[in-house]
Structure 1
Amino acid sequence: MSHHNQSLSNGLSRRTILLGGAATAGLASFSPFLTFRANAAPNVGELQLVPSKPNPNGSIDKLFLLKGDPLAAPIKRIVAEDGSAVPSPVLKAGERRVLRVLHFNDMHNHITDMHKKKGDTRRLAQMVKLVKEARSNAAKDEAVLFVSAGDDHTGSIFDELMGWSPEEFAADAGYRAYSAAGLDVAAIGNHEFDRGAELLKKGIDTDANFPLLSANVHSSKHMIRDKDYMSAAIAEIKGLRIGLIGLTTNIDTRVGQPEDPTLAVERPLKAIENLLPAVSDISDVVVILSHCGYGEGKHASGKAATERDIGDGDFAVASLASKLSKKPVVVVGGHTHTKLNAQGMDENNLIDGVLITQAQAHGKYLGDIALSIAADQGRENWYNSVTLHPIKKSDKRVKADDPKYASLQQVGDWDSGFEESVVVPLIKALDSKLAEVIGDVATDSLGREAMINSRYVGENALANFMNDAVVARSATFPSGKVDFALFNATGVSSGVAKGALSFKAWYDVMPYADAIHVATMSGRQIHDMLQSNVKRLLRPEEVAKTDMSGFVSRGFLHFSSGIRYEIELGNDAASSKAINITLSGQPIESVLDKTFTIAINTYMALGGYGEAWNSKPIGGGVKGDIVSFDLRKLNYDHTGLVYRNEVIAYIRANKEISEFNGGKLDGRLTIR
């Protein structure tokens, strides 16, 4: 096989990869999956095909939503809501179409990245320019589809426009911008639920002019499938019918929260097994928006510096899809922040003829898949071209004669009308929040590089400050002052520079939406938790071969100053031990039966998902299948308070972060 990358505006004029696969039988004019029944709700094993309005700024000519429960049983019939016959796939024998899928994933609200010295990187506006060019230059037989594979929230200051309750809601910045950008459809990612399903619903209702898809999210108290989101949809563009299915990771989605106790996520493979055959039968091509992660089971890629638990990842999804359908199927992935097919087709991402792709994260790339599809020939006679288009960074300090200049964002690289009419008003709404000085940093030892490089290998000065701040603030908690606090290492996302500290600078340190849950633990349970924690340390012999800026998804925890201990490394993780443990100055052996209170952030209280504080093996590259301590089983007082907000309140009250008020190493953890 050979491959060739194309510019975004050229369509698929040169088709260079032929994907082998078994031929499928010709589509009948009336499929066995298709029937109709007037004005009746779907039964078990049925879905209703319901007409809907596509995003007026997008490309879809006709949009149909598939309503019903895809998890109760395999879908045997698709019925029309109004009693009319469900039309068969559009392509006629001998016809061919090109489908262009322009995609991104894990944007995490990096719509525009703002920087005082380098200038603003207009990520989404650059994509809008490229998408508009693709649509305007498309040939008569070329359909252009613009999609997101999920995680469109949590990660930038724009999140703050959502607030923390429906009353505080101002805008869902991501969905509002996507609607104006002409996005056609998006999957629901795990971080969509970080502020709760009630706020997600508010964002969808207010700002999403496109369908949200997940076939395996169910039973939310606040969001109703078939009303607020769908399991699947059918889009028609230029005579091509495209089946669309959304999947959400069942490993890392925040379920079990008090405000939405019934929210659940089924295994993605169950949803695909039940749903894909019926969707495929009424489609010319199927696009699976899979926010499940690249790989399968334990896998390392993208943002993971070591192995993490993926579960039913894209390898498994593609493999099963290839067995369930003979039609062309593409898996547009997300969740793991993996850069795939940047130089054209990587044959490792082609599983039994099903293509997998992903565009890293944070708007760094716009993915581009172009498929030439022939009617009645399934995957036997279809061609594709794949690539990633880099989104240029801004650095206005670089002069025009610098060799780097051409690779950086310049005037004309983005859609200025979109930026001015859509993004600038959102930024203005944030101006006061962004610029607000919440305190001063009185030390130069808490910079980003130092904090990122130390968070997995031992004591971390900024984590010390954060945990001690929460203990101090707990004097104001309704449940009373806590003895200790903890926070996971992956939640320390940056450092702080000496000088004035803005809200945005602290937001960059703590971008995740964690509440505070106060657990009651015995000294014996804390002892066992620490023994589990020491086995998660990134050991000295691992550091040199680990990208310290990536996520080491082992769930290593940092603690407030009342918990002090040493780590005896041993020969490997399994033999490492926590020794000389003291709790509030007392040897732990003397307080094993005493009870303590400890503030725990949401992610850890819910078991750390892929970071395994849930009785599953630790993972993250730790060898030996070491069973983890289960933080989920503790008794909790769910305070409703936000971890980041309490730390900010502490900074404001103290007017600074300094060595004097906790921003330092104090020997609470030593390694020998």
Structure 2
Amino acid sequence: MPRNTRRLRPVVAVAAVALAAAAVANPVANSASAKPGKHLVDIQLLSFNDFHGNLEAPSGSSGRLVTGHQIDPATGKPVDETADVGGVEYLATHLAEARKGHDRSLTVAAGDLVGASPLLSAAFHDEPSVEALNKVGLDVTAVGNHEFDEGYKELQRIDAGGCIDDGDGKDNQNSCAAHEFKGADFDILASNVVEDASGKTILPSYSIKEVDGAKIGFIGMTLEGTPDIVTAEGVKGLTFKDEVETANALVPVLKKKGVKAIVTLIHEGANLPKEKWTDPATGTVHEVNASFDYTCEGGGELIADSPIVPIAEGLDPQIDMVVTGHTHNPYVCDVPDPKGKSRLVTSASSFGRLFTETNLKYDLKKHDIVRSSVKGSNLLVTRDVAKAPEQTELINTYKELVTPIASRVLGSISADVNRVQSPAGENALGDLIADAQLADESTVYNGQAPVIAFMNPGGIRADLTAANSPYGEPVGDVTFDEAFTVQPFNNYLVSLTMTGQDIYDLLTQQVTGANAGSHKILQVSKGFSYEISPSGPVDGSVKLNGEPIDKAASYRVVTNNFLQGGGDAFEAFTKGTDPYYGGLDIDAFANYLEASSPYTPGALDRITGTH
């Protein structure tokens, strides 16, 4: 197969400058639309985010969205009404239909289009997803944190094209398996990501798109906290700059180029509240899972301390709209700019299940967007439309190539092994993964085998469902494809030595510091137990095989390289000594399933208490 590599396109470097931004509190409603006039033209923006390589229609809860609620006659309690949505074959059709009748239309995205992907895309370094997005008609996207999963040089290759000389199937991946990879036809922007050695951004900072006389500038960036949530190796040698300062510094740059209409694409997002739903029969108000259009179209509001809110409030008033992502939530809301003027902030959930359609007026005389005309709405990617044939052809090509790896049966489970948490934060799938890491012999160092394993909950991406049979295998059988969907990062296992005090500090960091607002309870291996409290582990409760951990003693532990580098704000791991890198986490998971079949989930009794 070809192994040629094309030269990377030059990048744009922009220095960030500080700009004090006035904070604006309560969002206000959009004002009336612009007055019609010959100098006003209609522009359509279609946007989505967090695609994560979901070429095929995602299954289970990942392929559904809440559309309404009803009372279950059997229990008298409210239940969700849902729709099956997503899949690039359907997304492409919906976008094509949405563009009809719109002469001026652009399609944009807000990052995490690749990374943490199903095997169909990940097995080929996400090249299939980039090719699919080329066919979808994407014009420009911001970079997200998961675009750094394989390092920024790989991100630059994804942008520019070329092949990796990785042999056939190294680490369950194969570049250019079908043909030479041509790269992205769309612009990938990384305005706040600077290479320390050169002082330049790793990809362009902005993109200017012109549609029939209307020029719109797009500023793209990821969240400043990206180094905290990806592997240290993936962002080595990079600096991630403040989002507001970066975007605001680019406004005068774009204005000098005659661009006053500006949209920010940013991979950071908002958290959403529960929905207050009224039973139409009784008038009783219930707190339920929010429908996809509840926030803010249906009356819901962004949670005030959401990460995107202060960013949106601080962006220069010249910026007309903010397309966001990262939190996988759906919303179309108003967050006023520093002058108190209404400004649309949107996010289209994840996995291609939604897209946002925004319609606006552009003033050809003023070369700017009429802010009061900006109207947006999230639309379901339903599966009741014809599949886009070019996407089906692409999927079939890669399905044939991946089938020998994907369809291999690893073992079986006697019941679903899922991520449903106990009150203490433990879940059955986390137990299984931690046990698999502990059992993996690749991390034995100088004859020392790890005695405790820790797994981050965010790295567990799907449930193992007994009835799921993607290749027609018997009920309960688990294929490599299913296992990879659970752990899609190709992280390496790392063993290291930690003191008992380090372990106490680690468990405390689950509920304090950066994790105080959203607790992250690590999953732990058999033989290790403790009681969690709102302030951390109860002193004296941390035990190994029934014996209390000695804070002065040393213990060999195993985790993945994401956590070992301090990911998810678990800095205690960085104090570990004698790190030793083993094999891939997915291989440990697969080997353990093969050795433990049929696997039956046990009691959730390793972590007790509440947090």
**TM-score using structure 2 length:** 0.72
- Is 2:189 aligned against 1:213? yes
For 1:250, the aligned partner's letter is E
Residue 109 of structure 1 aligns to a residue whose secondary structure is coil
Tell me the distance in 1 between the aligned counterparts of 2:336 and 2:403. 43
| Alignment partners' CA distance in 2, 1:668 and 1:532 | 18
Which residue among 15, 20, 25 is the counterpart of 1:71?
Answer: 15
1:124 match: 88
Q: Name the counterpart of 2:602.
A: 664
Structure 1 counterpart of 2:211? 237
Partner letter of residue 186 of structure 2? F
Deviations 1:332-374 (A, max 9, x none): 1111122113xxxx44577623221111111111110111021
Residue 387 (structure 1) aligned with residue 364 (structure 2): no
CA distance in 1, matches of 2:582, 2:251: 40
1:417 alignment counterpart: 389
The one of 313, 320, 329 aligned to 2:314:
320
Task: Return the match for 1:587 from 548, 562, 576.
Answer: 548
Q: 1:284 to 1:534 in 2, by over 3 A?
A: closer
Aligned residue number for residue 249 of structure 2: 274
The equivalent of 1:522 in structure 2 is 499
**Cα separation, 1, equivalents of 2:371 and 2:249:** 26
Superposed displacement of residue 234, structure 1: 1.1
CA distance in 2, matches of 1:575, 1:427: 46
* 1:214-240 CA-partner distances (Å, limit 9, x unpaired): 10112178x9956x6211111111111
- Counterpart of 2:492, as a letter, is A
Q: What's the counterpart of residue 538 of structure 2?
A: 577
- Cα distance in 1, alignment partners of residues 150 and 330 from structure 2: 27
Structure 2 unaligned segments of length 5 or more: list them.
Answer: 1-8, 20-36, 65-83, 162-180, 273-288, 293-301, 467-475
Deviation per residue, 1:583-602 (Å, 9 max, x gap)? 355332xx332211211223
Structure 1 stretches lacking a partner, 5+ long: 1-64, 76-92, 164-168, 393-408, 540-551, 615-629
Question: 1:255 offset after TM fit, Å?
Answer: 5.8
- Matched to 1:196, the amino acid is G
**Partner residue of 1:482?**
450
Alpha-carbon offset, residue 378 of structure 1: 4.8
1-side partners of 2:107 and 2:582: how far apart? 37
Deviation of the 1:472 alpha carbon: 1.4
Partner of 2:157: 202
**Contact 1:99–1:371 (CA under 8 A) maintained in structure 2:** yes
User: Could you say what secondary structure the match of 1:340 adopts?
Assistant: strand
Q: Cα deviations across residues 180-221 of structure 1 (Å, max 9, x unaligned)?
A: 221111110001112333333333223311111010112178
Question: Aligned-pair distance for 1:534?
Answer: 7.0
Which of 244, 259, 284 is 1:283 aligned to?
259
Q: CA deviation at 1:523?
A: 1.6
Which residue of 630, 635, 655 corresponds with 2:577?
A: 635
Is the partner of 2:429 in helix, strand or coil?
Answer: helix
- Residues 528 and 201 from structure 1, CA distance in 2 versus in 1: closer, same or farther, beyond 3 angstroms? same
Q: Which residue of 1 aligns with 2:283?
A: none
1:565 aligned residue: 530
* Higher Cα Rg, which structure: 1
Give distance in 1, aligned partners of 2:522 and 2:188: 35
Residues 474 and 288 of structure 1: CA distance in aligned 2, closer, same or farther (over 3 Å): same
Q: Deviations over 1:78-101 (max 9, x none)?
A: xxxxxxxxxxxxxxx972222211
For residue 191 of structure 1, what is the aligned residue in structure 2?
Answer: 146
Equivalent of 1:457 in 398, 405, 424: 424
Summarize the Cα distance change of 1:162–1:465 in structure 2 as closer, same or farther, 3 Å threshold.
Answer: closer
Task: Look up the match of 2:359.
Answer: 370
Letter in 1 for 2:375: S
- CA drift at 1:468: 1.9
* Residue of structure 2 aligned with 1:496, choices 443, 464, 475: 464
| Partners of 2:206 and 2:219 within 8 A in 1 | yes
Of residues 570, 579, 586, the one that matches 1:644 is 586
Amino acid at match of 1:263: L
State TM-score, norm by structure 1.
0.66
Distance apart, 1:640 and its partner CA: 5.9
Opposite residue 420 of structure 1, the aligned amino acid is: T
Q: Report if the CA contact (8 A) 2:506-2:570 is conserved.
A: no
Q: Is the 8 A contact 1:452 1:494 kept in 2?
A: no
Closer, same or farther: CA 178–533 of 1 in aligned 2, 3 Å: closer
Q: Structure 2 CA distance, aligned partners of 1:192 and 1:467?
A: 26
Give, in angstroms, the shift of residue 148 of structure 1: 1.4
What is the CA RMSD across the aligned residues, in angstroms? 3.8
| Change beyond 3 A, Cα 1:301–1:218 | farther
- How far apart in 2 are the matches of 1:656 and 1:417? 40
1: CA distance, partners of 2:316 / 2:88: 33
Q: What is the count of residue pairs matched by the alignment?
A: 502
Q: 2-side partners of 1:428 and 1:271: how far apart?
A: 44
Query: In structure 2, the residue corresponding to 1:452 is in which secondary structure?
Result: coil
How many angstroms does 1:613 deviate by?
2.6
Rounded Cα–Cα distance in structure 2 between residues aligned with 1:523 and 1:246: 43
* Residue identity opposite 2:450 in structure 1: V
Matched, 1:438 2:429: no
Report the equivalent of 2:563: 604
CA-CA distance at 1:556 after TM superposition: 0.8
Q: Is the 8 A contact 1:179 1:210 kept in 2?
A: yes
CA distance in 2, matches of 1:275, 1:302: 36
* Distance verdict in 2 for CA 1:639–1:171, change over 3 Å: same
Distance in structure 1 (CA, Å) of the matches to 2:324 and 2:503 = 39
Corresponding residue to 2:521 among 548, 552, 556: 556
Letter of the 1:336 counterpart: T
3-state SS of paired residue (1:331): strand
Q: Residues 440 and 500 of structure 1 are in contact (CA less than 8 Å); yes or no, is this contact kept in structure 2? A: yes
- The alignment status of 1:352 with 2:329, answered yes or no, reads no
Mapped partners of 1:562, 1:271: distance in 2: 48
| Secondary structure at 1:511 match in 2 | coil
Q: Secondary structure, in 3 states, of the residue corresponding to 1:133?
A: helix
2:507 touches 2:537 (CA, 8 Å); kept in 1? no
CA deviation after TM superposition for structure 1 residue 70, in Å:
1.7
Q: Indicate if the aligned counterparts of 1:490 and 1:553 stay in contact, CA closer than 8 A.
A: no
Structure having greater relative contact order (Cα 8 Å, sep ≥ 6): 2
Map of 1:145 onto structure 2: 106
Are the counterparts in 2 of residues 70 and 231 from structure 1 also a CA contact under 8 Å?
A: yes
User: Secondary structure of 2:262's match?
Assistant: strand
Percent identical: 22
Give distance in 2, aligned partners of 1:575 and 1:466: 23
Structure 1 residue 249: Cα displacement: 0.7
